[in-house]
């Protein structure tokens, strides 16, 4: 199947994780729009107890109710933002080493039935609210090789939802995803290391070294997408604002000293390599994740209130931020 590319999508992810279901995300959406972003990825979390569980449901505090999701979609559209609706699976009581990339349900059929129920309900909501794109899953590395179960599920989603579909493979597993032919865009969580971890612990990695790392990755990923006749979409691209984080961007539990400049340099390197890539089968990027207070005391992924946000603005206007080096 040949599909058209929505050229140059620059987006920001926004987790719908607020404990108050009546809380409005409109101020955050307006901030995202002010970066020059054209799209927002609205992240909805579903929960299961541990990696062997077969039941999947809403967390009473951290899963946005349907009415809150629908309201936020409408607020995003009112702010002039295209919407990618992005469900993820989280574990309430993970055993050692477990996360959504290591799920091994004790009854795989039961797990897929539960997942199908949640995904189809979200697809119908997305259709009612005229969402532009829907992800059918993210980072489910132990399950996304099971094409026989995913194919009828993707077909059911297409009957319920008329927009574009993606699936997001993990950065260290995307080559083994067996279901990319079922969707329109090759989603990818792009937490590739840009430096050696020991080296990054000793010195600040210069942006030019990060640029070289991304150039090699761009060549590899472009070849991968061309072979599958699908455009590539980074559904998650982000870095903790911590010293050395560009060498281990996937390690969300890290607690290194705050380093806003390391985060900014990693954003700059990505922008310099990928901004001119739409003609190469590149659909776009969603930077992870605007949710959270942000600012100079934040060591998390959010670029909110940090120099990294200037790199998103620079992507949008095609200029290098003043003071960037």
Write down the domain spans for the chain. Answer: 9-317
Residue 21 has what pLDDT? Answer: 80
Using an 8 Å Cβ cutoff, are 256 and 206 in contact? no
Average pLDDT over the chain, rounded to an integer: 93
**Bridge partner residues of 89 (DSSP):** 46
pLDDT band (50, 70, 90) for residue 278: low
Which pair of tokens denotes residue 95?
A: 């055993």
Mean pLDDT of 274-295: 88
> In this model, does residue 192 exceed pLDDT 60?
yes
Q: How far apart are CA 59 and CA 86, in angstroms?
A: 16
What tens digit of pLDDT does each residue of 137-188 get?
Answer: 999 999 999 999 999 999 999 999 999 999 999 999 999 999 999 999 999 9
- Residue with the bigger pLDDT between 2 and 123: it is 123
- Backbone phi, psi, residue 20, to 5°: -90, 110
Band (pLDDT 50/70/90 cuts) for residue 22 is: confident
Give yes or no for a contact between 292 and 302, defined as CB atoms under 8 angstroms apart. Answer: yes
209-229 b/e with 16+ CB inside 10 Å = b? bbbebbeebbeebeebbeeee
pLDDT given for residue 2 in this prediction: 31
In the predicted structure, residue 320 carries a pLDDT above the cut 70: no
- Annotate 263-282 with DSSP letters as a single string: HHHHHHHHHHHHTT-GGGTE
Mean pLDDT value across residues 237-254: 96
When pLDDT is averaged across residues 196-219 and rounded to a whole number, the result is 95
Name the strand (E) or helix (H) holding 151: helix 147-160
- Mean pLDDT along residues 282-310: 96
> What pLDDT was estimated at residue 280?
64
- Over residues 133-138, the mean pLDDT reads 98
Question: Among residues 278, 235, 17, which one has the least CA distance to residue 133?
Answer: 235
Third-level CATH fold of 9-317: TIM Barrel (3.20.20)
- Residue-by-residue DSSP string for 195-259: S-HHHHHHSPPPHHHHHHHHHHHHHHHHHHHHHHT--EEEEEE---SBTTGGG-TT-TT--PPB-
Cα gap 133→127, rounded to integer Å: 10
**What average pLDDT does range 87-109 have in this prediction?**
97
* Residue 251 pLDDT greater than 70, yes or no: yes
Average pLDDT over residues 87-112: 97
Compute the distance between CA of residue 318 and CA of residue 325 in angstroms, rounded to an integer.
16
| Alpha-carbon span 318 to 280, nearest angstrom | 18
- 26 versus 22: the higher-pLDDT residue is 26
Answer with the residue of higher pLDDT: 315 or 143. 143
Mean pLDDT for the stretch of residues 229-240: 97
Average pLDDT over residues 280-286: 89
The pTM for the full model equals 0.94
The answer, yes or no, to whether residue 3 has pLDDT greater than 70, is no
CA distance readout (Å), 175 to 142, 188, 213, 306: 13, 10, 19, 33
As a whole number of angstroms, the distance between CA 8 and CA 271 comes to 12
Q: Is the pLDDT of residue 324 over 70?
A: no
């Amino acid at each position: 199947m040949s599909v058209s590319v929505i050229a140059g999508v620059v987006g920001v992810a926004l987790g719908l994780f607020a404990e108050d279901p009546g809380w409005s995300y409109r101020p955050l959406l307006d901030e995202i729009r002010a970066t020059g972003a054209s799209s927002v990825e609205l992240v909805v979390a579903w929960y299961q107890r541990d990696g062997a569980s077969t039941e999947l449901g809403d967390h009473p505090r951290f899963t946005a109710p349907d009415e809150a999701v629908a309201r936020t979609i409408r607020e995003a559209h009112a702010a002039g933002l295209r919407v990618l609706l992005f469900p993820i699976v989280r574990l309430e009581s993970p055993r050692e080493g477990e996360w959504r990339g290591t799920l091994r349900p004790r009854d795989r059929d039961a797990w897929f039935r539960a997942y199908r129920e949640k995904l189809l309900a979200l697809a119908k909501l997305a259709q009612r609210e005229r969402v532009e794109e829907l992800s059918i899953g993210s980072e489910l590395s132990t399950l996304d090789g099971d094409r026989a179960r995913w194919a009828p599920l993707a077909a059911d989603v297409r009957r319920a939802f008329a927009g574009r579909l993606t699936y997001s493979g993990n950065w260290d597993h995307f080559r083994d995803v067996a279901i990319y032919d079922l969707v329109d865009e090759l989603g990818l969580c792009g937490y590739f290391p840009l430096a050696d971890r020991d080296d990054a612990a000793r010195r600040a990695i210069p942006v030019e070294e990060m640029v070289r790392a991304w150039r090699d990755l761009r060549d590899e990923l472009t070849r991968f997408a061309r072979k599958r006749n699908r455009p590539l979409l980074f559904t998650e691209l982000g870095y903790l604002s911590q010293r050395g984080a560009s060498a281990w961007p996937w390690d969300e539990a890290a607690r290194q000293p705050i380093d806003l400049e390391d985060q900014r340099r990693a954003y700059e390197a990505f922008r310099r390599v990928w901004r001119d890539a739409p003609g190469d089968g590149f659909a776009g990027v969603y930077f992870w994740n605007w949710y959270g207070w942000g600012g100079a005391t934040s060591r998390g992924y959010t670029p909110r209130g940090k120099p990294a946000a200037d790199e998103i603005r620079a992507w949008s206007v095609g200029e290098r931020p003043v003071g960037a080096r």
